[in-house]
Structure 1
Amino acid sequence: METESTNGHGPKSGRMSNELIKALIDNYRQNHLNAINETLGINDAHSIWFDLPKLKKFIAMIEEEAGKNNPDLSEEDLGIRFYYAAYPKEENWHIMSSHPIAKEYAERHTLVMIPTVKRTDEKGETHHYDFNYSESNSSINLALSARRAPEDDGVMGENNGQLIPPSNSKVEFF
């Protein structure tokens, strides 16, 4: 039986079997996580949790900002790209001054969520561009960051979730 898909990248229903989830997570832990922990000599995070109100607020911000710049955008034009990221070493923690996170997160994995918008380029190809994507001489210039105050160098993004570890993994099923 063929699975219905919205974009060729998975089922439309948003459901996965426990067996598949466990296999994918085990693959990560046995390969990538072990290699990271052994190479860096740390106990890296293997999951991150975000509360639902924070996610809803972030999605509402995306929709609001997109609507300000282009009221013709539909929900299907918007998305979120999840970038893999890592916190700095403790000795470089000063770069976190504008985004207060506990130092116990030093060197651990995190995710950074960046809003995206679907656009068709000059070749007629459709892509999902980061909101703040801008390329000189390009017909695609989203520049949603232009609405920021001049003193604000922040880009719309989110990463303030709870990492496990350092938080307790007793709450995880996988």
Structure 2
Amino acid sequence: MTNDSNGIENENSNNSSQLPVTFIQKLVDNYRNNQLALINQKMAMDDAHSIWFDLVTLKNFIAEVEAKALAIDPNVENIDLGIRFYYAAYGQETQQPIPTNYSKKHTLVMVPTKKEEGLNYDFNPLQEEGKALAITGFALAQNHGDLVPPGASIVESY
């Protein structure tokens, strides 16, 4: 076994997609016992603690980022593209397709990034200049997975 840069023991240090179950549980517990507990107490609610996206949605979003980035910059390489996950929250009033029971709950917004001069900038391939996100109009982004709660936590392992 070896330790990675985070001090995590890993039998296969070449596979960055593997984490020890105990480490995952510790991270989840840290969030639930600290940030989530304070949010629930302060806001008197049962906030979401997980979000699920199906693979088709994720793959389609990634493919769209790649295709639109190439359309405005034919020299862009996939290694320079990424996705930033913003922590976000729905408002008091939701609008379709967002269910009303998602009101005020945590969510994620995924935004493309493009590396320039060693920095991963938020990137909107719907704009010709591309570098910064649109202040008005539309930006390429993804949101609205299934939240738990209000979804059933019986499907979760952590």
Q: TM-score, normalised by structure 1?
A: 0.77
Residue of structure 1 equivalent to 2:108: 111
Find the aligned partners of 1:4 and 1:11 in 2 and give their Cα distance.
Answer: 12
Post-superposition offset of 1:13:
2.0
Query: Superposition pairs for residues 27-106 of structure 1, below 5 Å?
Result: 27-90=30-93, 93=94, 96=95, 100-106=97-103
Post-superposition offset of 1:159:
0.8
1:142 and 2:134 are equivalent in the alignment:
no
Find the aligned partners of 1:4 and 1:29 in 2 and give their Cα distance.
Answer: 25
Find the aligned partners of 2:22 and 2:51 in 1 and give their Cα distance.
Answer: 20
Residue of structure 1 equivalent to 2:16: 13
Post-superposition offset of 1:3:
3.0
- Which residue identity does 2:122 align to in structure 1? D
Post-superposition offset of 1:70:
0.9
Post-superposition offset of 1:16:
0.7
Which blocks of at least 5 consecutive residues in structure 2 are unaligned? 7-12
- Which residue identity does 2:86 align to in structure 1? Y
| Native 8 Å contact 1:3 1:11 kept in 2 | no
Post-superposition offset of 1:74:
1.0
| Native 8 Å contact 1:114 1:130 kept in 2 | yes
SS state at 2:114 partner:
strand
- Which residue identity does 1:72 align to in structure 2? N
Task: Select the residue among 147, 154, 158 that pairs with 1:163.
Answer: 147
| Native 8 Å contact 1:65 1:144 kept in 2 | no
Identity %: 44
- Which residue identity does 2:97 align to in structure 1? P
- Which residue identity does 2:130 align to in structure 1? L
Q: TM-score, normalised by structure 2?
A: 0.84
Find the aligned partners of 2:30 and 2:72 in 1 and give their Cα distance.
Answer: 41
Count of residues in correspondence between the two structures: 147
| Native 8 Å contact 1:69 1:144 kept in 2 | no
Displaced runs of 4+ in structure 1, greater than 6 A?
none
SS state at 1:42 partner:
coil
| Native 8 Å contact 2:122 2:132 kept in 1 | no
| Native 8 Å contact 1:4 1:11 kept in 2 | no
| Native 8 Å contact 2:47 2:105 kept in 1 | yes
